[in-house]
Amino acid sequence: MKARRVKGLDPQGALADNAARIVRVRLDELCSFMPKAADPEQVVALHDMRIAAKRLRYILEITAPCFGPYAATAMKATKGLQDLLGEIHDCDVQEPDVMAQLERVMAEDARALAARAGDAEDLDPALLKRIPGRAVHPGLVALAVHLRARRALLFARFLEAWRDLERKGFRARLEFALDERAGATGNGATPVATPLEVIE
């Protein structure tokens, strides 16, 4: 997903002014995926929302100390959301992989079975005991089932996490924090260290 362009950035301007512009756009980008991403079938929207969360998290990790205290809280909340969406994405990638592998094994088994039937009038079900992939079927099916169930569980947690953010006024509070500039009063506020170590 291509990031929305942020207009009006000025390299000679204050870091906080520029960062606030970027955060507003990234925040709007993130929120724009709901309610579409609340549909578990909308895999692409969920994936794009994860990317949007990542972009918001990164700008906050660099510049949260420029803003009011809620910016740091929002950074942690965004990281939590991104992690959850990342785990859902992993399931969305892995399950089709496992199913494709199962399909390959089944196709090979079907070919082998047909070859063993030879000139018989019909296929003898007893031949199934000797298909080459019989040992790997249970593991592939078990993992696919596990991934699907885990995805459902994670998705329910994502909806709950988003509702919780909304209940706590995530968007409005972050927007408010952007106007609460640290040091904006010119009273010698001490620059604070950027907690970038949480990027992983």
Binding site for other proteins (CB under 8 A): 3, 9-19, 22, 55, 58-59, 61-63, 65-67, 94, 98, 101, 135-143, 146, 181-184, 189, 191-197, 199-200
Among residues 16 and 161, whose Cβ is nearest to other proteins?
A: 16
Q: How far is the CB of 196 from other proteins (least distance, A)?
A: 4
Q: How far is the CB of 122 from other proteins (least distance, A)?
A: 29
The whole-angstrom separation of Cα 85 and Cα 40 is 12
Q: Which residue has the tokens 């972050």?
A: 174
Among residues 67 and 158, whose Cβ is nearest to other proteins?
A: 67
Q: How far is the CB of 83 from other proteins (least distance, A)?
A: 13
Among residues 84 and 182, whose Cβ is nearest to other proteins?
A: 182
Q: How far is the CB of 9 from other proteins (least distance, A)?
A: 5
Q: How far is the CB of 62 from other proteins (least distance, A)?
A: 6
Among residues 39 and 103, whose Cβ is nearest to other proteins?
A: 103
Going by C-alpha positions, the residue among 31, 61, 62 that lies closest to residue 49 is 31
The whole-angstrom separation of Cα 13 and Cα 66 is 14
**DSSP assigned state of 9:** -
**DSSP assigned state of 186:** S
Going by C-alpha positions, the residue among 9, 13, 53, 12 that lies closest to residue 31 is 53
User: Exposure of 80 by Cβ count < 10 A (0-12 exposed, 13-18 middle, 19+ buried)?
Assistant: middle
Among residues 46 and 105, whose Cβ is nearest to other proteins?
A: 105
H or E element: which one contains 15? helix 15-31
